[in-house]
Amino acid sequence: MGEQTTPQVDVIATSSFIPPADVPFETDAGGGQALAEFAGRACYRSWDKPNRRTATNAGYLRHVIEVGHLAVLEHATATLYIRGVSRSVTHELVRHRHLSYSQLSQRHVIADPSFVVPDPVASDEDLADLFSAAAGKTRQAYDELMTGIEQRLSGTEGAARSKRARQAAQTLLPGARGTEIVVTGNLRAWRQVIAAHGSDASDDELRELVITCLERLRGSEPNAFADFVVTDLPDGRRMASSALVTEA
């Protein structure tokens, strides 16, 4: 029985920015960060950057975050491809309605038997063996259900019969089954997800996922996430929080 315990997150798309030729706007960043800065400066036509504290893109976005004017971050988006997570954690993730999702179909993709083992289980040999045995029995029951349902629907056309059998049998599979999901959100929405689930009070798998997302987003849009601090907890887990006072 395959096991996945570490989320794999890739940034596969970000906003591009094309400044208007007739606007005297210059910045030291690109992509979504530059777009957010342009949107903010367009509100006041502050192209000349009179304030030295906000003259750089990093300084400008830090000020935006400090005062809570996060609407300018909604113009820029990032798309992440997330793998190695459980269906249970994506059930939590998709509750954030300001993100857009395209998830692996559990009804059509059944060959991969991988399951995500929770950290408190994976770190204990006896618990890990118990988890693996239970996952194996569940998969065996799934296969037996598939066979029985297809036999019961023997009078149904082949493709339709298999589809109906899969959609009935897959309800038995546990939330620990591995999945993949493409998620798009504007930078403000990503910040809200990280702030909501980066704390010690969050679900372990979800917290580790959003911290991994934070690390990848910092690689493409560092100034929009520079205020987040990742710290190690005494038991080895990590948490993320903003060092600035921001909008809830």
Task: Round to whole Å and give the CA distance between 172 and 156.
Answer: 22
Q: What is the pLDDT of residues 77-103, one digit of tens each?
A: 999 999 999 999 999 999 999 999 999
Query: pTM of the entire structure?
Result: 0.90
Per the structure, how many domains does the chain have? 1
For the residues 14-35, what does the mean pLDDT come to? 97
Query: Is the pLDDT confidence value at 136 over 90?
Result: no
The pLDDT value given to residue 151 = 84
For residue 216, tell me if it sits in a domain. Answer: no
- The residues pairing with 9 across neighbouring beta strands, listed in sequence order, are 82
Beta-bridge partner residues of 232: 238
**194 domain residue, yes or no:** no
pLDDT of 26 higher than 60: yes
| Whole-number pLDDT of residue 12 | 98
CA distances (Å), 152 to each of 94, 138, 173, 218, in order? 35, 21, 20, 53
Domain enclosing residue 139, as ranges: 124-175
143/56 Cα distance (integer angstroms)? 59
Q: What is the largest CA-CA distance in the chain?
A: 77
| 21 inside domain | no
Determine how many CB atoms are found less than 10 A away from the CB of residue 169: 21
Burial 4-43 (b: 16+ CB within 10 A, else e): bbebebebeebbebeeeeeeebebebebbbbbbbbbbbee
Tell me if 92 is assigned to some domain: no
Residue 114 lies in a domain: no
pLDDT of residue 188: 98
Structure confidence at residue 248 (pLDDT): 41
Say if 228 falls within a structural domain.
no
Q: Name the H helices within 153-233.
A: 158-169, 187-197, 204-220
Note whether residue 119 is domain-resident: no
Residue 158 confidence class, pLDDT cut points 50, 70, 90: low
Whether 160 maps to a domain, the answer reads yes
